[in-house]
Structure 1
Amino acid sequence: MSKKKLKIAQDYTTTPGPRYIKEGSWSGEKLRNEIVFPQVSESIKKNEKIEIDLDGTAGYGTSFLEEVFGGLIRENKLDYDELVEFIEIKSDEEPYLIEDIFEYLKDAYENPDE
């Protein structure tokens, strides 16, 4: 299976911001809508993995990451099982974020109305 790569620091920003677009620049909502959702959807259709590299930024707020990843299920209605199969997270600088992200996916799947 081939693999596509998305590096947040190069493809979006080195200074991730708030959760929602209305709250300020470089939001998680904008990243999800404009970059992550289209690229993840395309990867699933093409049956290729996508590596999302979190390294190289000033850091991430939990609400930012929850919006990006939990929002794929809650807002964009992607399938949990496909996301877990096709998404790979790279975070050498803050490895705990990998587990956090998969928890956000699981929570959005198990509690879709929250």
Structure 2
Amino acid sequence: MNSHKTIPVTTEFHPRPKGRYAKDAPGCEKSSGEVFRKQCLVPALREFDSVLVDLTGYNRYGRSFLDEAFGGLISREHFTKAELDKKLTVKHDDVESFISIINERIISAEENRLKE
């Protein structure tokens, strides 16, 4: 490996990501955190040494989307926080609080994983 992938969410995934699961509401089968994780994040993390997720371009990400997309990497896809710390970077040029929420959800998922 030794390669890098940037995922600009609003252009490569959906202009207005929303929802936790594909079945949450009409349209979520194309815009949910679950779909983003499965279609974009997991394949990129398995193929590339480093992945940058750029959330810039949309300012209304919900906690459920962020939790399912990023916390779900640990709780559903069996990555560890240590693996994500090495490979995953997330940014948003305008709303830094999204990064805090993502870090919080990853830490929580890791704590739950370690309890099991």
Give the TM-score band, short-chain normalised. 0.7 to 0.9
Report if the CA contact (8 A) 1:14-1:58 is conserved.
Answer: no
Amino-acid identity (%) = 33
Partners of 1:13 and 1:21 in 2: how far apart?
Answer: 13
Name the counterpart of 2:108: 107
Name the counterpart of 1:85: 86
Name the counterpart of 1:37: 42
Partners of 1:61 and 1:100 in 2: how far apart?
Answer: 10
Give TM-score scaled by structure 1 length. Answer: 0.88
- Local SS of the residue matching 1:69: helix
Partners of 1:58 and 1:74 in 2: how far apart?
Answer: 25
Q: How many pairs were matched up?
A: 109
Residue 24 of structure 2 corresponds to residue 23 of structure 1:
yes
Structure 1 residue runs of 4 or more that deviate by more than 3 Å after TM superposition: none
Partners of 2:71 and 2:42 in 1: how far apart?
Answer: 11
Shift of 1:110: 0.2
Shift of 1:2: 4.6
Partners of 1:72 and 1:7 in 2: how far apart?
Answer: 18
Q: Which structure 1 segments of 5+ residues have no match?
A: none
Name the counterpart of 2:71: 70
Aligned-residue RMSD, C-alpha: 1.5
- Local SS of the residue matching 2:6: strand
Partners of 1:58 and 1:98 in 2: how far apart?
Answer: 12
